[in-house]
Chain A
Amino acid sequence: MQSVHIVSAYDEELKYLSKRIAAMGGHAERMVEQAVAALVNVDHGLAQKVIQDDLVLDEGQREIDDKAIIIIARRQPMATDLREIVGAIRISADIERVGDLGKNVAKRVASVDGRQPNSLFRGIEALANLALTQLKEVLDVYASRSVERIGLVRDRDDQIDAMYTSLFRELLTYMMEDPRNITPCTHLLFCAKNIERIGDHATNIAETIYYIVTGEQMPADRPKGDKTDKIVLPGTVPAK
């Protein structure tokens, strides 16, 4: 039997894991926010900072992996605790990916000169706001464990897809108007795609939290995906 003392040290270890997850999450939220700000304001200094900051998340993920494995080996956790620990490993991997996506956006700042129409930048900002709201809501659910709020997170997913599809169309229009737009708009397109992917990782995290709390897989609801594969602009021939 474990003594009371050991049990509470064990609790401390579990708490430490979730605290590190939250700190990583906060860091990733900040990185994405700043990457988008750097893109919209063409701020190369800020972009560099974001690229540097990514190291913190790589380090965070390694630490959580190590700690989690040590806990599993030493404590041989059962049921709830085991889900908590495995969940931490999964969530930190998703957060680390979010950081990578933020970094990718920051890297593209160098290739965009800010002369593209304002509406594109506003669109990217709006897309990023949706993705960041989703990430924030998910990490808030991690704090509160109120999984009944996860439904709202899914609604956001649809909004993000719709927004991405619309931006995609607008970017295509500019590229067709003037070939000189093709290079910068392609970079913006990748930025938009990266931001949209952040939403996917937020959804993954939501699913993991649902599993941690309930012990069940989140019920699947509908087929995912944007509609950009179907977009055809007037005057072009649909690809077969």
Chain B
Amino acid sequence: MTETGAGRDNKGQAWAARLSRNRWLLGASVLAVLAVYFFAGVSVYVLVLALAALAAAAMLPTDAGRQPADAGAAIEASGLQRLSGEYLAAAVADPLIIFDHSATIVHANAAAFAAFGGLAPGMSLSLKFRAPEMQALLDGILSGQVAADAVDYTEKLPVERTYRVSASTVGHATGLYVLVFKDQSETRRIDRMRADFIANASHELRTPLASIAGFIETLRGPARNDAAARDQFLQIMQNQTGRMARLIDDLLSLSRWEMKPYLGPGTEVDLRQTIDSVIDSLGPLAGENGVIIEREFANGPLVVPGDRDELFQVFENLLENACKYGQSGGRVTVSIAGSEDGQQPGFDVTIRDYGPGIAEEHIPRITERFYRVDVESSRTQKGTGLGLSIVKHILTRHNARLSIKSEVGKGAAFTVHLPAR
């Protein structure tokens, strides 16, 4: 059930592995404890003892530990009091939702809120999880046909994620049930990466490979003794291998962003600092292209929830495009401003160039993989056609939006709307 990788032979790791193998049991038992907290009145020490006992039980070899019903009963019998059920649910790292006989949400932990937008206590689970397999899971458990069940559930949008979802009753006759979502996206990622690679890379890599093969043939045959041609061909071959390497890098980073689970809650990004360092890192490219980068940052703190490395890549890709494709404009402006626009207060980061711009019909499409307005200019600029797809994926994970405005001949403006918390 969990990824017990090879080479875990030292003691601590073995325990950790066992713990993780038994985490379902642990989760179920913790929930039993939780139910007791809700429905009986007991003291905190007993709870601490019970939890310690659970942890110990989870450390036992798997077979000995597989007695969920007994463990639950024992704890319930001793009774508990004044424990925050929310703390317990919060201690479970996987999304966890407790619901009642009518599939109404009673409690959802922070991981569940982070994973599934728009959850609220009182909401009906069967309205929120509409996929046929989830409906069947909920119907089965609520009708009392089974006490516990599990299905694989894939959410395609906004970001593809696959879960092993298990549902079970909580304690004895509490009228409560629990869903726990174990994220399996990482495990699926390898499969997906292989499929993606075949679908995208094989096609894109074929052209540079064919050209390298052609030059090798020429170098061994007609150009064997032509020093000038040899140098020129080797240069072209080097460009081609560079291109292949960039393509592989971009594909891997796209797969990584696509398959990474939702953002962990709590991390924050200082936009001012992040964007300053993006501008610094692209200084040489801008200089080479004769582009001046201007800043227009709003005053005050410019902080949003998010992952710094990911947002760094977003602004780097956008600014790089502006310097490359908007080169003829001679300058690029980067602005950060507060946005009160509509329902989502936050910050707008706009990267504007004064180059040729993008024709209207291409704008909706340029975030698609490998979509290039002009294949030749993308190639000479060392592009892969993946930069904006990476941007889009990262922004989706951040609940952010990208809007593109352009007038042909006057330049292009890419605006990222980042919601504040």
Cβ contacts under 8 Å, A15 to chain B: 102, 124
A144 touches B363 (CB 8 A): no
Task: Indicate the size class of the contact surface on chain B.
Answer: 20 to 34
Encoded as 1 (CB less than 8 Å from any A CB) or 0, chain B from 120 to 156 comes to 1001101111111011000000000000000000001
Counting contact residues on chain A (CB < 8 A from B), the size range is 35 or more
Q: State which of A25-33, A61-69, A183-191, A213-221 sits at the interface with chain B.
A: A25-33
A163, B343: Cβ atoms under 8 Å? no
Minimum CB–CB distance for A176 against chain B, Å: 15
Is B362's CB within 8 Å of the partner chain A? Answer: yes
The reply to whether A122 and B157 contact each other, CB–CB distance below 8 Å, is no
Segment of B5-13, B264-272, B368-376 in the binding face: B368-376
Given the interface pairs A122-B368, A144-B123, the reply to whether A136 lies near B157 with Cβ below 8 Å is yes
Is A139's beta carbon under 8 Å from chain B? yes
> Given the complex of chains A and B, what is the CA–CA distance between A152 and B293 in angstroms?
33
Structural contact, B368 and A123, CB atoms closer than 8 A: yes
The count of A-to-B residue pairs whose CB atoms sit within 8 angstroms is: 89
Interface presence of A146 (CB below 8 A):
yes
Q: Which of A26, A123, A146 has the most CB of B within 10 A?
A: A26
Q: Is the CB of A149 within 8 A of B343?
A: yes
Contact of A166 with B156 in the complex, beta carbons under 8 Å: no
A25, A118, A143: which contacts B123 (Cβ < 8 A)? A143
- What residues of chain B lie closer than 8 Å to A152, measured between beta carbons? 343
If A23-B130, A26-B130, A119-B370 touch, whether A162 touches B364 (CB-CB below 8 Å) is: yes
Which of B127, B370, B371 is A142 in contact with, Cβ under 8 Å? Answer: B127
Residues of A within 8 A of B103 (CB): 19
Of B132, B342, B371, the residue contacting A119 (CB under 8 A) is B371
Q: Interface readout for B372-415 with A: 1 if CB under 8 Å, 0 if not?
A: 00000000000000000000000000000000000000000000
Q: Shortest distance in angstroms between A18's beta carbon and chain B's nearest beta carbon? A: 6
The 9 closest A-B pairs by CB, nearest first: A26-B130, A143-B127, A163-B364, A162-B364, A22-B127, A143-B128, A166-B361, A22-B130, A166-B364
Interface residues of B (CB under 8 A from A): 102-103, 117-118, 120, 123-124, 126-132, 134-135, 156-158, 203, 342-343, 361-365, 367-371
Residues of A at the B interface (CB closer than 8 Å) are 15, 18-19, 22-23, 25-27, 29-30, 33, 118-119, 122-123, 126, 129, 132-133, 136, 139-140, 142-144, 146, 148-149, 151-152, 159, 162-163, 165-167, 169-170
